[in-house]
Chains A and B, each alone.
Chain A
Amino acid sequence: MNRPWLLWIPLAVVAFIGGLAIYGLAVPKDDQVHSAMIGKKLPAFALPAATAGVPALSNTDMADGKPRLLNIFASWCLPCKAEAPHLETLKAAGIEIDAIAIRDKPEDVAAFLAEFGNPFRRIGSDSEMAVQLMLGSSGVPETYVIGGDGTILFQHIGDIRAEHVPMLIEKVNAAR
């Protein structure tokens, strides 16, 4: 054997693979599917009103110069109930919130609003999840920060908890 250093190559390969395995264990797994639409304009859509008494929602409604939140929710979604008080806090902080109700019925949305309050300016009904797909949204609830020109600036996946409220207020105010 005139090239003894060759013997080290298998060890190096095994050490590299072992290192990858340890790295994979150490880094927490991200199960969330993030939207690739951040930084892009809202897709064109026009959804019907989700329930009587709250106006319908189209993409042009959200390009009126004011930044806002777009909440994706459903009356059948448990975490959506948990985040309802925090949406009220955000509304009280002067933030406009529009919403899209996923696979919902008008009477169910009405019952949900009656029980948990209505922080929303407009609610569109996305019964076939078509707009949800266009937004790159992967479930309910999700909350987007939308710029005044209708650009998608930020996506919050999952329910809004008390600790997320200041961050969302800051993101909306930064877009003003």
Chain B
Amino acid sequence: MRAFAPILLALSVPVFAQGSGPTPPMANQQLADPTQEAQAMRLMHSLRCIQCQGQSIADSDAAMAATMRAQVRQQIAAGEKPQAIRSWMIDRYGEWVSFEPDMKGAGLLLWVAPFFIFVASIWLARGLFRRRS
């Protein structure tokens, strides 16, 4: 029975899922410099996969995510700043591609809303305490 296991495993691989092309080597291969790899990894967790829209490119196994990971590692290895690479992606796919919205437009609202809610809640709580005393 055990002899059949590798055959079954081979049959279970989705051969025709997304066409066939080579996976870029840098998609699944860490950079030699641990500091750079950590930078790349942090960035990859905050970029959204175009193909499987809920996942980050670090989590996704889609072909497009592999291409995006390779692009991130190549640019990090070439000395690009993570913020510049994020902008590079946003220049092509719009704000959508970033899990960390920029502090402008609707993104600014997201960043400042917690502050306003905090101030408003302090103000509400203050009124409550005053009435009790």
Contacts and interface: CB of A to CB of B under 8 A. Distances in A.
A102 interface: yes
- In this complex, the interface size class of chain A, counting residues with CB under 8 Å from chain B, is 20 to 34
- Tell me what chain A mostly uses at the interface: helix, strand, loop, or mixed: loop
A132 B64 CA distance: 9
A105 interface: yes
B92 A36 contact: yes
Contact of B51 (A37, A104, A136, A139): A139
A96 to B, nearest CB: 25
Interface in A78-137: 102-105, 127-130, 132-136
A132 to B, nearest CB: 8
Contacts of A31: 53
B33 interface: no
A128 B24 contact: yes
Contacts of B16: 76
A127 B50 contact: no
B19 interface: yes
Interface string A25-47: 00000010111110000000000
B92 A135 contact: yes
Interface stretch (B34-42, B66-74, B78-86, B101-109): B66-74
Interface string B23-34: 110000000000
B67 A129 contact: yes
Nearest to A136: B92
